[in-house]
Amino acid sequence: MIYATPPLTSADERVLEDIDDLRAELRFYLRSPRRWYGSLRRATFARVVQGSNSIEGYHASVEDVAGVIDDEEPIDADEETRQAIAGYRDAMTYVVQLAPDPPAIDASLLKSLHFMMLKHDLTKHPGQWRPGSIRVQDGDGDTVYEGPDRELVEPLVAELLEDLAQRRSPPIVRAAMAHLNLTLIHPFSDGNGRMARCLQTFELATDGLASPEFSSIEEYLGRNTPAYYEVLAQVARGGWSPDRSARPWLEFCLTAHLRQAQTLLRRIRETEALWDACQQAAARHGLPDRVVGALCDAARGWRLRRSLYVKVTRSSTGETISDTMATRDLAAMVAAGLVAPVGEKRGRSYEPTPDLRALWDDVRATR
């Protein structure tokens, strides 16, 4: 027996309608490619990866996470954090690739995603169910949760997946319950929270609501980690207890979806405004349109490097440029007074000038 989906109340139904209305507005912006779509998608994906990993104690800036996603060395994150980010990036990239024609979610797929996340540490049995019992401890070493007996793992996971396949509930509700059940079954030696959040995002994507990074609530969970842990503890009460009501968890997830959709809608409007401002700045200085995506990143305070500029240009415009052209573009942005070089040769990066930062400050001031 797994945790059952609570009956939806009239309040739940109203919140689901509000979320649907917000998603309809989001789809209006995301349905057809726009100039700023690549830049928005890159930043949103980075926030998803950052949010989920921060919950597990792997802290890095959105800028560093975006760099790791693009196979760049992070500026501040340590090696362990880099590997955790890269593993989650691989798993989420796989989810994104599968989303347009998603397969049925089965145990093999769960194990594959787990292997991608934890392949850098074989002591954590990546891609395998946990070998024995498991307990979650707090910072003082006290047990705060004990998972179900090891012999129950396979049948409980099978029941979870069967419940998903039945599609008896709205996608947001179904995905939320999958998250809860996988977290509390705790089928892996480590990475159970990341796997549960990834599964929730994947299930949302299978219903065609939006591309996975735009339907995820992982950023919200990362920003509200104490509340996230508190509601899980409220439902579980220290051990596997599927007879308890999952209503607190469902209400928490519905709230998370509503607030994340509001945040994303605001961010879309701000991205569009920033793109327009950077495009106008580029035109004033005679810079090519391909620099606009990089200027948007820099305006937010993100540092540029030549190799990263090449990748940002490709993701934001679809244009592939040479290192020589990238060097010329960056020099032109420096001459225009929009970015300033820091360091020498291979260690050189480019930071926004006050004039460029002012464009983002003006956009934020409209909140």
| Tens of pLDDT, residues 238-260 | 999 999 999 999 999 999 999 99
Q: What does the pLDDT read at residue 264?
A: 93
- Does a structural domain hold residue 74? yes
- Does a structural domain hold residue 275? no
End-to-end CA gap in the chain: 47
| Cβ–Cβ < 8 Å for 352, 299 | yes
Q: What does the pLDDT read at residue 32?
A: 62
Domain end marker among 232, 265, 298: 265
Distances (CA, A) of 208 to 98, 205, 214: 11, 5, 11
What is the per-residue DSSP string for 94-130?
A: HHHHHTTSPPPP-HHHHHHHHHHHHTT-GGG-TTS--
Give me 314's structure tokens.
Answer: 């490709």
Q: What does the pLDDT look like over 24-43, one tens digit per residue? A: 888 888 776 677 888 888 88
| 142 in the same domain as 97 | yes
Q: What does the pLDDT read at residue 328?
A: 96
- Does a structural domain hold residue 273? no
| 252 in the same domain as 313 | no
Classify each residue of 14-47 as buried b or exposed e, where b means 16 or more C-beta atoms within 10 Å of its C-beta: ebbeebeebbeebeebbeeeebbbbbbbbbbbbb
20: nearest Cα among 258, 285, 273: 258
Going by C-beta distance under 8 Å and a sequence separation of 6 or more, which residues neighbour residue 137? 143, 144
Q: What does the pLDDT look like over 97-127, one tens digit per residue? A: 888 888 889 999 999 999 999 999 999 999 9
- Does a structural domain hold residue 1? no
